Chains A and B, each alone.
Chain A
Amino acid sequence: MSTRAAEVSSSGAAGHSAGAYLLRVSLFAVLYFGLARLADSVLVFVEAGEPVTPVWPPAGLALAGLLLWGYRFWPAIPLGHALAYLSVLDHPPLPLLTLSLAVAGNTAAALVSAYLLPRFAGFDAALERLQDVLGLLVVGALVGGAVAATVGVASLWLTGIIPESAWGPVWRVWWIGDVLGVLGAAPAVLAWGARPRRAVARERGWEAVSLLVAAVAVSGLVFRLGIGESYAIFPVLVWAALRFGQRGAATTMVVVLGMAAWYTTHGYGPFVEARVSESLVDLQTFIAVVAVTALILAATVSERQRAQADLRQANEELETRVIERTAQLSQAYDELSRLHEQEVEYLREVDKVTGAAAAVESGSVLPESLTGVAQRPDKLGQLARVFRRMAQEVVARESRLKEQVAQLRIEIDEAKKVRQVAEITETEYFQQLRQRAQQLRNPRGA
């Protein structure tokens, strides 16, 4: 992934003094020098008097270094290369121009690849995805190797070291060496240098040791003793890829390929043929097949594991979300129930008011239940209070009216009246009064 590569490079740029930079460049250069010396001294076929390096691991280290730490460490490449060249005194000296151009070609190859990889493939240095492995193969190995081979062969031809007719074979040898160097060496450096997406559990220490022992043992059996076929090495690689991811695969690959190259160039193992050129092809084919297979297998396994982990995490998240949502739902339900109860209670109170209204309408006594409702502080309570007051007023007015109607209705107890009148009229006094009424009214007229 480009951002991760950029992160790595920027963290290298920031916060470090010039001294730290020089130290790291020196370290990088020394590593390069060492690897180059190793390749030059031990991994060499001699074909028709000319030394041929079947695989050029420094190309892989150069690319991996730039990818991990940043472009600005590029000086380590020419520095390491020049040191390696100068430290070897027994080969015919090359003109300075030739040497400079070739070194520039190697450096340019690493820079071009390190520049292109993140842009074309969204490269992640941990190589845990298939696209990263394919990116490394196409852009890092094939394209980078082509750049180095083209510049290198051109420098030889321009300075008259080789004739024009030698272009093809020399370019091919150079290119294949670089391609295999990148495929063989870069993954181990990248896998260990980059942060893996998922760390391998530490408790697998014994298994890792067993894997290394197995890799060394099988490689020794096949390439030193010639027992068994070269593909016997694949179970070990599969084990490494399945159990230890890209770090395990890349490391095992370095061990296996290193031993294969060493023993083959020293005349042991199944790739030794009558002609050196055939041995070269056998070994290079083996390296390419092993590297591509191991890298792709490890990346695929990592992707699968990551997918499983993602799925597990998604499941867990989903479960958490389900629990949360269930809790929310339950809370919402409780709230709804509470509201519903409130509503039911409210309606019950409303019933009391309407009941009271019905009671008043039918002329019975205002029910006591209204008192509770009237104590509510809300609108219903206000309604109940107003209604109670009105009902009381209506009752009072009605009783007043009844009283008035009673006052209006003049009822006379006739029997009683007759008795009362008789009590008066039957008296002697009344009889006299009646008889003398005329005289009394007009005493003088009598």
Chain B
Amino acid sequence: MATTIAVHSFRGGTGKSNVTANLAATMARRGRRVGVVDTDIQSPGIHVLFGLDEEKMGRSLNDYLWGRCGIDEVAHDVSAVVKGAGVTVGGLYLIPSSIKAGEIARVLREGYDVERLNTGLHEFIDHLKLDYLFIDTHPGLNEETLLSITISDVLLIILRPDRQDYQGTAVTVEVARKLDVPRLLLIVNKALAALDFDALRQQAEHAYQAPVAAVLPLSEDVVQLASSGIFCLRYPDHAWTREIDRIVDQITR
């Protein structure tokens, strides 16, 4: 039975895609078969982290949603990214969203069949015998996001220590509870080093009545690498990487 993990944040810029990619890569290196779906159709981006060339990307989630092809045809094997000496990679597959302006405009204009997305995701899991499926959602709470939350076994909510994020997260948590999400984990990202992390964690757990998987610092090293690669792979011994490991531990527990 595969575990579906929806990664969500109320606003953009929380580092959602970056954390998702790192979690997925870490899991794959642990021998799991992992899938990542970029459902952020309006502003896609996670494919860059996996080194997928935009020109040669080929088919995308958009093609499946419009019924142009089956889900198996849009899944890209990106296992090569995480391969390394003495590492057994279970498998890492990515369904990217199209970055073509026309495709994005069409989604915005016409919307898409959310039911078909759900069906596709299940097929993706079955087809590639995935252990874990990460859904990189669009920020906010639109229909597609609500669906992602609904079907997820684990909902990861990423927030920054910021007033607007606090309020939005409260709404998301409340909505997720109403949708009976089995497991809810919070990740505080981009926390300034000067902050008291433990206090922040306690505050958040108290405010949302939900466990905080990690408080990730605003790391200059992470910022520098930006979207050009997966940080955990580049810096396996970094403190930030260890935090990601700990999150993975909690998800796979």
Chain A residues in contact with chain B, CB under 8 A? 400-401, 404, 406-413, 416-417, 420-421, 424-425, 429-430, 433-434, 437, 440-441, 443-444
Known: A407-B161, A412-B166; 8 extra A-B contacts, CB below 8 A, are: A401-B194, A408-B199, A417-B170, A425-B175, A429-B146, A434-B179, A437-B150, A437-B180
Expressed in whole angstroms, the Cα–Cα distance for A401 and B196 within the complex equals 11
- Whether a CB of chain A sits under 8 angstroms from the CB of B174 is yes
5 tightest A-B contacts by CB? Answer: A407-B161, A410-B207, A412-B170, A420-B171, A421-B174
Question: Can you list, as one digit per residue, whether each of B31-62 has a CB less than 8 Å from chain A (1) or not (0)?
Answer: 00000000000000000000000000000000
Question: Can you list, as one digit per residue, whether each of B151-180 has a CB less than 8 Å from chain A (1) or not (0)?
Answer: 100000000011100110011001100111
Please give the distance in Å from A440's CB to the nearest CB on chain B.
Answer: 5
Expressed in whole angstroms, the Cα–Cα distance for A411 and B151 within the complex equals 30
A433/B147 contact (C-beta < 8 A), A407-B162, A412-B167, A417-B170 known: yes
- The answer, among B166, B171, B178, for a CB contact under 8 Å with A411, is B166
Expressed in whole angstroms, the Cα–Cα distance for A151 and B147 within the complex equals 164
**For B146, what are the chain A residues with a Cβ–Cβ distance below 8 Å?**
424, 429-430, 433
Expressed in whole angstroms, the Cα–Cα distance for A259 and B203 within the complex equals 141
Expressed in whole angstroms, the Cα–Cα distance for A401 and B180 within the complex equals 38
Expressed in whole angstroms, the Cα–Cα distance for A410 and B195 within the complex equals 13
Expressed in whole angstroms, the Cα–Cα distance for A408 and B166 within the complex equals 10
A408/B161 contact (C-beta < 8 A), A424-B141, A434-B178 known: yes
A443/B118 contact (C-beta < 8 A), A410-B204, A412-B167 known: yes
Chain B residues in contact with chain A, CB under 8 A? 118-119, 122, 141, 143, 146-147, 150-151, 161-163, 166-167, 170-171, 174-175, 178-180, 192, 194-196, 199-200, 203-204, 207
Expressed in whole angstroms, the Cα–Cα distance for A298 and B147 within the complex equals 145
| 15 pairs of residues in contact across A and B, judged by CB atoms under 8 Å | A401-B194, A407-B162, A411-B163, A411-B166, A412-B166, A417-B171, A421-B171, A421-B174, A421-B175, A424-B141, A425-B175, A433-B146, A437-B150, A437-B179, A441-B150
- The answer, among B118, B150, B195, for a CB contact under 8 Å with A407, is B195
**For B175, what are the chain A residues with a Cβ–Cβ distance below 8 Å?**
421, 424-425
**For A404, what are the chain B residues with a Cβ–Cβ distance below 8 Å?**
192, 194-195
Residue with the highest number of chain B CB atoms closer than 10 Å, among A401, A408, A410, A429:
A410
A410/B203 contact (C-beta < 8 A), A404-B192, A421-B171, A433-B150 known: yes
Expressed in whole angstroms, the Cα–Cα distance for A409 and B162 within the complex equals 9
* B147:A440 contact, CB within 8 angstroms: yes
**For B147, what are the chain A residues with a Cβ–Cβ distance below 8 Å?**
433, 440
Expressed in whole angstroms, the Cα–Cα distance for A120 and B192 within the complex equals 110
Expressed in whole angstroms, the Cα–Cα distance for A141 and B173 within the complex equals 144
* A443:B171 contact, CB within 8 angstroms: no
Expressed in whole angstroms, the Cα–Cα distance for A412 and B209 within the complex equals 13
* A443:B167 contact, CB within 8 angstroms: no
The residue on A at minimum CB distance from B181 is A437
- The answer, among B151, B170, B192, B194, for a CB contact under 8 Å with A440, is B151
Expressed in whole angstroms, the Cα–Cα distance for A413 and B167 within the complex equals 7
**For B171, what are the chain A residues with a Cβ–Cβ distance below 8 Å?**
417, 420-421, 424
The residue on A at minimum CB distance from B4 is A441
Expressed in whole angstroms, the Cα–Cα distance for A424 and B176 within the complex equals 11
Expressed in whole angstroms, the Cα–Cα distance for A339 and B200 within the complex equals 59
* A400:B194 contact, CB within 8 angstroms: yes
Please give the distance in Å from B129's CB to the nearest CB on chain A.
Answer: 15
A412/B207 contact (C-beta < 8 A), A424-B141, A441-B151 known: yes
The residue on A at minimum CB distance from B180 is A437
* B162:A425 contact, CB within 8 angstroms: no
The residue on B at minimum CB distance from A425 is B178
Expressed in whole angstroms, the Cα–Cα distance for A407 and B118 within the complex equals 37
The residue on B at minimum CB distance from A442 is B122
* B195:A408 contact, CB within 8 angstroms: yes
* B170:A408 contact, CB within 8 angstroms: no
Expressed in whole angstroms, the Cα–Cα distance for A169 and B20 within the complex equals 159
* B194:A408 contact, CB within 8 angstroms: no
**For B143, what are the chain A residues with a Cβ–Cβ distance below 8 Å?**
429
Expressed in whole angstroms, the Cα–Cα distance for A409 and B143 within the complex equals 31
Please give the distance in Å from B67's CB to the nearest CB on chain A.
Answer: 18
Please give the distance in Å from B170's CB to the nearest CB on chain A.
Answer: 4
A440/B196 contact (C-beta < 8 A), A406-B163, A412-B166, A413-B167 known: no
A416/B150 contact (C-beta < 8 A), A407-B195, A424-B141 known: no
Residue with the highest number of chain A CB atoms closer than 10 Å, among B143, B174, B192:
B174
Expressed in whole angstroms, the Cα–Cα distance for A343 and B122 within the complex equals 87
